[in-house]
Amino acid sequence: MPVKKKVTTKKVIKKTKTKKKVEVKKKSLTKKNQSVKKIAKKKVAKKVVKKVVKKIVTPKAPKIKKIIVPQEFKAGENIVYPTHGVGRILTIEKFQYDLVEEQLYVIQFFQDKLTIRVPFAKAKLIGLRNITSKPSMTRTLSVLKQKPKIKKAMWSRRAQEYDQKINSGDIKLLSEVVRDLFRKDDQTEQSYSERQMFQVAFERYTREFAISSSLKFEEASTKILEILNKR
């Protein structure tokens, strides 16, 4: 009986050893499989990242459209803006908006103490022009010597016509307004709106006349008033 027991114990020990070896092998295999799987996953992830990186293309910077228009006026030059009168170009600026770049005239008006910016492309459309030459300006003085031509229409209608002439930018039409709205001291009084409109037309005309004739504003003003009072 004892001999049989010894044999069985040996067999049991062998079986347990073999089981342990099998378990160790299985564990090592599972670990290897896990490590292999991890490496495979990393490689796949790297490939995916590379593909994504290749697909992502950095967008090109949008091109700025430049509006090129020839420059007609220079900085420091006196000009006439129809609705504001005589002004001076202070400088030339570049302005960018909505991927568009264009150049502007920076104009200051002494009469209104106003500064505006006019794109090169809109200068002609607005009616921006040079100061009238001295010979042409002298011819407009003959208009001032004429008798006023006043229509019999209502003042509201005449005021509208005068306003259009003042803001036309035409020096001859401006001289006609000065001629028609001027009143001597011994003549009938004008309404406030008539005097105000005359003052605007007179000042615009005088400023251009002064620059054209190389005179100071006060000297030009005295000369024009003398002409108007003599008629």
If pLDDT is split at 50, 70 and 90, which confidence band does 224 have? Answer: very high
Rounded Cα distance between 49 and 147, Å, is 90
Q: What is the pLDDT of residues 152-194, one digit of tens each?
A: 889 999 999 999 999 999 999 999 999 999 998 777 778 999 9
- Bridge-partner residues for 108, per DSSP? 88, 115
What does 148-197 look like in DSSP terms, one character per residue?
P---SS-HHHHHHHHHHHHTT--HHHHHHHHHHH---TTSPPPPHHHHHH
The pLDDT assigned to 162 comes to 97
